[in-house]
Structure 1
């Protein structure tokens, strides 16, 4: 998880759900301060977790009345404490928080933490966006219910809990989409695709921008809509105030989605251009965490015991809803059960090995990736093994040539480079000239789906295994053809079809030629 800036001296520093004890912390506080409004305000000004417990405990309790926390909750409280200090440079505080479904992301980021910030003046104008206007307005409705009915909150923060008034006595703004408090705090709610995303109250612009589940379920989502949603975020939401603190929270709904890109950044797998350019930090909370000694524990042991998580770890629901791994997404062909790995006897002996390349003609932001896959054939077991697969957004030229040579060094058993040249054949001849192994080209004439169906047949008949879990290619396969990219599917498929040609002859007319 990316480290966030923290205010010095927090009692939460270094603690997780396993080591944090709320009762122990409360025991250190002077009960006389807790009994008085001024004391409670003083104690909670720098402590969002204590604020949550004192004023919003009913949102934290389970069905048995217990108040427990997960690793993510403690991380979020630590992160929110950065709101105490003003933002001094554009894009300084832009963060994304991805955690298992039902961790309470909306409760914390759209109710507890904004209320804490507003109560103590750390936040003056919160703008909340969701996939739909009704969803965003629900967040505002939850906040207003606390303001209207929470007696302790109303007693300690009366200006926050009373609407601003005009000279006529009417409320300045107390609607489904906006609330302005007597203290000056503003909370506005919008659907991310609203025709009017501009927000300004007098000279005041949002200093906290919240984006919660801005992507819909996969059934009503697509790669094209994901690109449009990202454009809205970058071109309409962030410019509301470049000095605003920005928080994106959510759960993956589709491979290649905005949240999925942030997950890959948070896990150190890949950083999309927009994430780097806009300065976002991504914080990924895994349902199963590792202790320093390598043993495992639950991120929220009171809610999800480790035994329970391990019992469902193999399911698609766990992958998608808990681990934020879109392997749980529903594609049209592969499922996670189609992937096999070497057994106790170890890896298959290699008879032949090739590097298969599915190239992109350019490396522009909107172009595909270049997929490279290392696949071998074992004559003894009569099956293929996929050893590795990587997708690169890299300009065709010397850098790609260097990467190919590096893969030949990493896998010295490679004896052939196979590259699809439906486009840019001359370009690839100029890049892959004088390779230390033979280079062959293939020109595909059948459509992608037909080719993929044939490759899936080999997987399901046990003719293809993976040397280990290959997350990127397996995600693409499970989401195919709905994923925004399928470069690795094509790269692996080309190699498998060449090694196992008999079953493929009826579905392909691929022509090959060689050059040096």
Structure 2
């Protein structure tokens, strides 16, 4: 027999649930006023009492992940008035199967609507049909006879003035409407009211139908159209990273940079952030990235949702190294299947080098739509025993949007940081005379390369050197930006560092190109 909250006593009660219901006088649960009073400032208890089936797993167990508790705490901020523009803009990224849509499109909006914390919600998804599905789930929950307490205690919310595709308007005055990201919604109003809550769920399409150009268009829609519906509206953006360079990926990258800066004692507003990520901070978006494996104070690890079999700690630890886990659980776009590099490709070490070069793959302009200039410091070592090829060590790789004197200063800075560098290798396919202006009077020799071979062909030859045993290319340590770009190649938004590293590796190791059938091999000069 289930208890008053619908929990099956066959299973041990979830600790969070046990704490929630501890000490509650059962008589309060028998009256509408009692239930409403209990839940007015507690969305977790609201879910337990009014939407119990929405938080049960397939075996009838009720439990909460640690991120659900964080989300509920953030949702409580809706009980306070907004005091400044863009004060409450949140992005939530979590493993697949965490219930992002259930919480942010059903449970929490229902709580806000029931108590009047939100009067007008507008929801967006990549496609209008996807957003409409969320609204249909919301409407279905209101009509569900199993949610008896909800229907009894909030009749003005349950009774609809309008309930049609893309719109629910309750007799209480609460409005919930939905749109696709490409739908024109300028000036959306319900009577005299503008939306006070904006919900965003997977507003980017899958990688197979998405590109950098489309990402920039969608970002413009988000900033210029959606956010401008009401700059004081609270925003809840839930999603999963599917493509390197996507908006959700940029949210995570920005969040990581802020956390790294804070760990070094640098205030968040002074953290160095690349230009293409600045919009996250400028729009005051607070990023909440839920990780499935958390570290205890003593260094041991725990699951963020231990009572859910999908997130059982042992199971996750066995799979944490796989691309599938990184992609679906960590929101790591480097895990997206690649035609070239994968995270498992990279070897780490710093064998002794007999030569080092600074390789530059340049961009012609530095405007917002131009490519970056890639700079890579790559060392060379002689052939190892039993191997006819030497090896390369990638010591550093960065991407900059600099020109002229600023780029020259950066080059000199890298030469000073790596004094063992004896030359600069420049790809001259782009830039032309610009390189003579930037690199004149350098303290090391200048070498040039003009590539006629396709990028993909060159990348294949470089990848073969990465993979060929016993290892011919090493990274001195993890170089996240480079490795991310390599794993995204050729679908990623940029490949400047791939080219810069590749040019140096091919210059040092000189692997033969595949010759066309019948072609004569040129005699070395």
Q: TM-score, normalised by structure 1?
A: 0.86
Summarize the alignment of residues 79-98 of structure 1 with structure 2, pairs less than 5 Å apart: 79-98=74-93
For 2:358 and 2:294, locate their aligned partners in 1 and report how far apart those are by CA, in whole Å.
35
Offset of residue 257 of structure 1: 0.9
Q: What does 1:238-387 correspond to in 2, within 5 Å?
A: 238-268=227-257, 272-303=277-308, 304-342=311-349, 347-381=350-384, 382-387=390-395
- How far does residue 177 in structure 1 lie from its aligned partner after superposition? 0.4
Structure 2 match to 1:477 = 486
2:50 corresponds in structure 1 to: 55
- 1:464 and 2:469 correspond: no
Aligned equivalents of 1:406, 1:380: Cα separation in 2: 30
Question: CA contact under 8 A between 2:16 and 2:64: conserved in structure 1?
Answer: no
Q: Post-superposition shift, 1:398? A: 4.1
Change (3 A) 1:30 1:489: same
Contact 1:497 1:504 in 2 (8 A): no
CA offsets 1:277-311 (integer angstroms, 9 cap, x no match): 32222221122222233332222222212211111
1:190, 1:197 within 8 Å by CA — same for their partners in 2?
no
Residue 249 of structure 1, CA deviation: 0.8
Measured in 2, the distance between the counterparts of 1:159 and 1:502 equals 74
What is the CA-CA distance between 1:88 and the residue it aligns to? 2.3
Q: 2:101 aligns with which of 106, 117, 120?
A: 106
Q: Which residue of 2 aligns with 1:170?
A: none
User: Contact 1:256–1:484 (CA<8 Å) still a contact in 2?
Assistant: yes
The question of whether the paired residues in 1 share the 8 Å contact of 2:185 and 2:225 is answered with: no
Question: For the residues of structure 2 that align with 1:45 and 1:369, how far apart are their CA atoms?
Answer: 52
* Aligned partner of 2:135 among 133, 140, 164: 140
Q: What is the CA deviation profile of residues 302-333 of structure 1, one whole-angstrom value per residue up to 9, with x for unaligned ones? A: 22122111111121211211111111213332
**1:16-67 residue CA offsets vs partner (Å, 9 max, x unmatched):** xxx9633123214343333322222222222111111221121111222222
List per-residue Cα deviations over 1:176-227 (Å, max 9, x = no partner): 2001111111000111122556521111111111110111222222222222
CA-CA distance at 1:505 after TM superposition: 9.5
Counterparts in 2 of 1:81 and 1:404: CA distance versus 1, 3 Å: farther
**Local SS of the residue matching 2:315:** helix
1:440 partner SS: strand
* Equivalence for 1:207: 196
Distance 1:390 1:35, change over 3 A: farther
Distance 2:15 2:255 in 1: 24
Match of 2:457 among 450, 470, 483: 450
Q: Counterparts of 1:260 and 1:66 in 2: how far apart (Å)?
A: 33
| CA shift for structure 1 position 380 | 4.7
Cα–Cα, structure 1 residues 399 and 37, in superposed 2: closer, same or farther, change >3 Å? farther
The range that moved more, 50-59 or 378-387, is: 378-387
SS state at 1:227 partner: helix
2:403 alignment counterpart:
396
Aligned length: 476
- Unaligned runs of 5+ residues in structure 2 are 1-13, 259-272, 385-389, 517-525
Q: Whole-Å Cα distance in 1 between the matches of residues 113 and 340 of structure 2?
A: 49
Please tell me whether the aligned partners of residues 20 and 45 of structure 2 are also in contact (alpha carbons under 8 angstroms): no
**Alignment deviations for residues 400-458 of structure 1 (CA, whole Å, 9 cap, x no partner):** 44433443344333332323232334433333344443333333232222221221121
Task: Kindly state the Cα deviation for residue 145 of structure 1 after the two structures are TM-superposed.
Answer: 0.9
1-side partners of 2:143 and 2:431: how far apart?
65
Tell me if the contact between 1:178 and 1:189 (Cα under 8 Å) persists in the aligned partners. Answer: yes
Q: Does the Cα contact within 8 Å between 2:131 and 2:178 map onto a contact in 1?
A: yes
Query: What is the TM-score normalised by the length of structure 2?
Result: 0.85
Cα shift at 1:245: 0.8
- CA gap 1:399/1:117 in 2 versus in 1, 3 angstroms: farther
CA contact (8 A) 2:373 2:402 kept: no
User: SS state of the match for residue 268, structure 1?
Assistant: helix
SS in structure 2 at match of 1:452 = helix
Kept after mapping to 2: 8 A contact 1:263/1:284:
yes
- Whether the aligned pair in 1 keeps the contact of 2:185 and 2:226 (CA below 8 Å) is no
Q: Distance in 2 between matches of 1:283 and 1:246?
A: 13
Unaligned runs of 5+ in 1: 1-18, 165-172, 508-516
CA-atom RMSD in angstroms = 2.3
Deviation at 1:471, TM superposition (A): 2.5
CA distance in 2, matches of 1:410, 1:504: 34
The answer (yes or no) to whether the contact 1:401–1:431 under 8 Å persists in 2 is yes
Tell me which of 53, 62, 67 is aligned to 1:72. Answer: 67
Q: 1:415 to 1:36 in 2, by over 3 A?
A: farther
1:234 to 223, 230, 238: 223
Q: Is the 8 A contact 1:355 1:372 kept in 2?
A: yes
Report the 3-state secondary structure (helix = DSSP H, G, I; strand = E; otherwise coil) of the residue aligned with 2:366: coil
* Counterpart Cα distance in 2 of 1:409 and 1:59: 60
Determine helix, strand or coil for the equivalent of 2:456. helix
Tell me how far apart the structure 2 counterparts of residues 438 and 46 of structure 1 sit (CA, whole Å).
69
Output the CA distance in 1 between the equivalents of 2:340 and 2:511.
Answer: 21
Structure-2 change in CA distance of 1:291 and 1:411 (3 Å): farther
CA distance in 2, matches of 1:55, 1:68: 15
Corresponding position: 1:131 with 2:126: yes
